[in-house]
Amino acid sequence: MAPAAPPLTPDFAANPYPYYASLREAGPVQFHETLLRGCYVLNRHEDMVAVLKNPHLFSSKLMAAGTTMPKELGEDALRYFLEPKSLLASEPPLHTQLRTLVSRAFTPRRVAELEPHIREISRELIEAMLAKEEFDLIADLAMPLPVIVIAEMLGVEPERRLDFKRWSDDVLLASAMQGTGKDLPRLRQSILDLHAYLESAIEQRRHTPRNDLISALVEASQSAEDGFLTPLDLMAFTRLLLIAGNETTTNLIGNGMLGLLRNPSEWERLAANPSLMPNAVEEMLRYDSPAQALIRLVTDDTEIAGHPIPRGARVLLLLGASNRDPRRFPEPDRLDVTREVQSHLSFGHGIHFCLGAPLARIEAKVVFEELFRRVRRVAFAPGQESNIPWSAAFLIRGPKSLRLTAERHQP
Ligand code: HEM
């Protein structure tokens, strides 16, 4: 039987790993009665890989943001999520067609060309942050960096970045909400404002293309089969690129820093050998994944690890648990920046493998390289260590703020 506690408590948000370990002891597949109105919960690496390799049997339909949004947002707001084609929620052949439209912009080579600019932005943010005696790593660095980078890639004017961040947060909040709330009018307004902005940006690029991602998408839609991408599809695509990489990359930086703060020997190893950074970023992803879970819908009667699973069931893949699976990773609860991390599932697996993974990897690598270049040591600000505010969303994990102090290298 599954351990009873529903994992939506403050203790769970602060540290979900003991719960995952208890699930593992109870067996590879557990039925959880309340989560997602009843779902099968997986905790083993191999079972999740098997599910993610079979997108027709385990459909991504439920990953469309609109499926979890409250009806009270109104039909005019929800249609932006429910009507369009969705990369994240589709299956081949549609998925292949959609992914081809953007994959060129996100190859490791294309993204590597952005590295010098990402470094420049990181340096500016870090200098401003370190000018303060006590700073918030999240608000001062981990949050603005991915927003600035993706907004620039899309071609969003700098003065609209804050709006973009707010809209992005509100869409995520709306899709994580169950039922109603006092925030509903604001969330609804953000959805309408975001789409009004996207609609006019897309229209503008149709007449005057620029060297940015929105123009590339508009161009691809024009050269694709007639009517393949409607204006609503284009908006949904742009919105996905905007939102998918914001909070996740913020949390990679936040969770990674927390891992180093709590494991000072790993900080020292990186300080002594900064060329370990790309490997350290992989280990940070494994050790404390920003994306903790994925949801799939079963399209036919099947079985997982010998357990029958009926058609129509929901399956919850606990990526955070797979990354600590001792059958896959020896001593999984140890952060080890020299570990040869192979196939953690933090970016997913199979056809939906994160499109932005090369970008997220570079952003995190550059941020930590630039931090190590300037700072000898960081420490929790007084009172912070035992009092970290965690994001309440279950699928995404990261500190909402991380107040720190730093000791700079001697000039
Ligand atoms: C897909 C995680 C950053 C764009 C995914 C998936 C995961 C993930 C787990 C698979 C979803 C599924 O199988 O249902 C992360 C993490 C990130 C990150 C942990 C940062 C550390 C980014 C960035 C972008 C991005 C920076 C773009 C700018 C996407 C897109 C997909 C995706 C478009 C859908 C791909 C598809 O369905 O084919 N991401 N992501 N992600 N991610 Fe990321």
Give the best-scoring range by mean pLDDT among 63-77, 155-169, 332-346, 381-395: 332-346
Q: Residue ranges of the domains in the chain?
A: 10-408
- Each residue of 257-278: pLDDT tens digit? 999 999 999 999 999 999 999 9
Residues 36-57, mean pLDDT to the nearest whole number: 95
Ligand 1 centre to CA of 410 (Å) is: 39
- Mean pLDDT for the chain? 92
Are the CB atoms for 2 and 31 separated by under 8 Å? yes
Looking at residue 4, what is its pLDDT? Answer: 46
Residues 110-138, mean pLDDT to the nearest whole number: 96
Residue nearest (by alpha carbon) to ligand 1 atom 6 = 354
Q: Which amino acid is at 180?
A: T
Instruction: Please state the ipTM of this predicted complex.
Output: 0.99
How far apart, in whole angstroms, are the C-alpha atoms of residue 170 and residue 65?
A: 12
Pocket lining: 63 vs ligand 1, CB cutoff 6 Å: yes
- Cα–Cα distance list, 277 to 246, 281, 346, 364, 369 (Å): 21, 6, 17, 9, 7
Atom of ligand 1 nearest to the CA of 349: 13
- Each residue of 18-39: pLDDT tens digit? 999 999 999 999 999 888 889 9
Ligand 1 centre to CA of 360 (Å) is: 9
Contacts of 327 (CB under 8 A, 6+ apart): 44, 45, 46
Orientation of helix 115-130 relative to helix 357-374, angle to 10°: 40
Pocket lining: 347 vs ligand 1, CB cutoff 6 Å: yes
Above 50 in pLDDT, residue 1? Answer: no
* Structure token digits, residue 407: 């000791």
Residue nearest (by alpha carbon) to ligand 1 atom 26 = 245
- Give the three-state DSSP class for 107: coil
Query: Worst-scoring range by mean pLDDT, 177-186, 368-377, 389-398?
Result: 177-186
- Cα–Cα distance list, 372 to 129, 268, 335, 405 (Å): 14, 10, 18, 14
Ligand 1 centre to CA of 354 (Å) is: 4
- Each residue of 175-195: pLDDT tens digit? 876 556 788 999 999 999 999
Tell me the percentage of the chain whose pLDDT exceeds 70: 96
Looking at residue 165, what is its pLDDT? Answer: 86
Ligand 1 centre to CA of 352 (Å) is: 8
Residue with the larger pLDDT of the pair 378 and 10? 378
Contacts of 201 (CB under 8 A, 6+ apart): 155, 156, 214, 238
Torsion sign across C-alpha atoms 103, 108, 111, 113: negative
Class of domain 10-408: mainly alpha
